[in-house]
């Protein structure tokens, strides 16, 4: 997975877009952050900050990229952008629908400068539909609460995966996938294309475990489906120290192994039961059982065949030996630690540029590469078109 010859002009900011292009940068792509001449990417200034003096979010998803600061509201700024587009493979934007067109940097405009361009728009609701122009973040996206929050209503939310950030990160991940797909399609002779990714659509796609019931007349609720707590052998349980473990003995063999290891062989035959009274009795037994010992005591004694795992805090999860063994947590000598590229393979880059770009750091370099001489760049800077 070597994207060394691919250049991406990234107009996005904050989390979902930069996360998408960070994945591509880690795969070798030349990602150019196109920022405004005022504050640039808002994430630069969001607390907490790293020891490099920028927001930790910015530091984590903008490594190895270059930055150019352009005033795209000005004619000269757009002209400079068009010249960059001529040599680009991808333009990626995260504006609300209609903004790119008003700035005259939409797909229909840019394809006139580069007919093989892959152009991806990432937004909360997509470019069409009644909510297309609605503002939103993760907690607003259709489906985050209704489709992903299928946890049991009578239990603490502490151990559950939060709905927030699912749309941003999932949207970014799918955008990166779509961009690579667009590049492959182009290489197969299909030319450039326009891609519309809605974070709401991605969240809806994540709801496969409850989609059938919801689409065929039912309205599944927390604790009422096999993978959301209906079955006691597939749920989350509190331990004696107020922490939690997961039990995911969906297959009979894992349930049997668990029952044997905890000396509850009498529960083996309950697996697969649909009798509400029997399910309630098994759950009550499991709740009392797990509450009798601490989380770590359970983990120390149970084997890998029991399908029991810890619910970790973020710090515990990122320090887990499994992630360390996979090399996912990168700790470069000259940069703060971060979560690296989440795939391993025979042709995946193992060494990454960990630098982060200053706002507009590469403006002169990039404009010079498309023919702007020193005097022209000085004139643009004097007119506040570039920074």
State yes or no: is 137 an active-site residue.
yes
- Give me the architecture of the 7-206+330-383 domain, per CATH: 3-Layer(aba) Sandwich (3.40)
Closest CA to 158 of 312, 328, 295, 332: 312
| Residue 168 annotated among the catalytic residues of the structure | yes
Residues of the chain with confidence (pLDDT) below 50: 143-145, 150-163
Partnered with residue 55 across adjacent β-strands are 49
Query: Can you give the pLDDT at residue 322?
Result: 94
Q: Which of 36, 41, 59, 168 is catalytic?
A: 168
Residue 266, beta-bridge partner list? none
d(CA 143, CA 137) in angstroms, rounded, equals 12
For the 234-319 domain, the top CATH level (class) is alpha beta
What pLDDT was estimated at residue 220?
A: 87
pLDDT digits (tens, 9 = 90+) for 306-343: 999 999 999 999 999 999 999 999 999 999 999 999 99
Residue 164's pLDDT is: 52
Check: pTM over 0.85? Answer yes or no: yes
Catalytic residue, chosen from 76, 137, 149, 196, is 137
Q: What pLDDT, on the 0 to 100 scale, is given for residue 153?
A: 45
- Report the DSSP pairing between strands 7-10 and 30-35: parallel
Beta bridge partners of 122: 197
Give backbone dihedrals phi and psi of 288, rounded to 5 degrees, phi first: -70, -40
Domain ranges across the chain: 7-206+330-383, 234-319
């Amino acid at each position: 997975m070597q994207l060394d010859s691919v250049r991406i002009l990234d107009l996005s900011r904050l989390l979902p877009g930069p996360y998408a292009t960070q994945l591509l940068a880690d795969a070798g792509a030349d990602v150019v952050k196109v920022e405004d001449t005022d504050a640039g990417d808002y994430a630069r200034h969001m607390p907490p900050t790293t020891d490099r003096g920028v927001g930790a979010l910015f530091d984590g998803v903008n490594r190895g990229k270059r930055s150019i600061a352009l005033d795209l509201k000005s004619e000269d700024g757009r002209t400079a952008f068009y010249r960059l587009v001529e040599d680009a493979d991808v333009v990626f934007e995260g504006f609300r629908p209609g903004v790119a067109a008003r700035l005259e940097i939409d797909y229909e405009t840019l394809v006139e400068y580069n007919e093989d361009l892959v152009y991806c728009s990432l937004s909360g609701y997509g470019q069409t539909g009644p909510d297309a122009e609605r503002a939103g973040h993760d907690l607003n996206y259709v489906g985050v609460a209704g489709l992903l929050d299928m946890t049991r209503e009578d239990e603490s939310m502490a151990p559950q995966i939060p709905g927030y950030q699912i749309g941003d990160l999932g949207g970014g991940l799918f955008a990166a996938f779509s961009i690579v797909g667009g590049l492959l399609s182009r290489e197969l002779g299909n030319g450039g294309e326009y891609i519309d990714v809605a974070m709401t659509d991605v969240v809806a796609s994540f709801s496969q475990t409850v989609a059938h019931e919801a689409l065929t007349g039912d309205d599944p609720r927390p604790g009422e489906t096999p993978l959301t707590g209906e079955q006691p052998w597939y749920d989350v349980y509190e331990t004696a120290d107020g922490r939690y473990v997961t039990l995911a003995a969906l297959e009979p063999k894992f349930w049997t192994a668990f029952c044997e290891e905890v000396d509850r062989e009498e529960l083996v035959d309950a697996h697969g039961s649909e009798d509400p009274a029997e399910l309630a009795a098994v759950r009550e037994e499991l709740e009392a059982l797990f509450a009798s010992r601490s989380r770590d005591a359970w983990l120390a004694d149970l084997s890998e065949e029991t399908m029991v795992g810890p619910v970790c805090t973020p710090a515990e999860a990122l320090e887990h030996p499994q992630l360390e063994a996979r090399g996912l947590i990168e700790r470069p000598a000259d940069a703060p630690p971060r979560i690296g590229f989440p795939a391993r393979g025979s042709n995946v880059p193992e060494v990454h540029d960990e630098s982060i770009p200053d706002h507009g750091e590469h403006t002169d370099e990039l404009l010079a590469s498309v023919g702007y001489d020193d005097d022209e760049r000085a004139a643009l800077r004097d007119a506040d078109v570039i920074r």
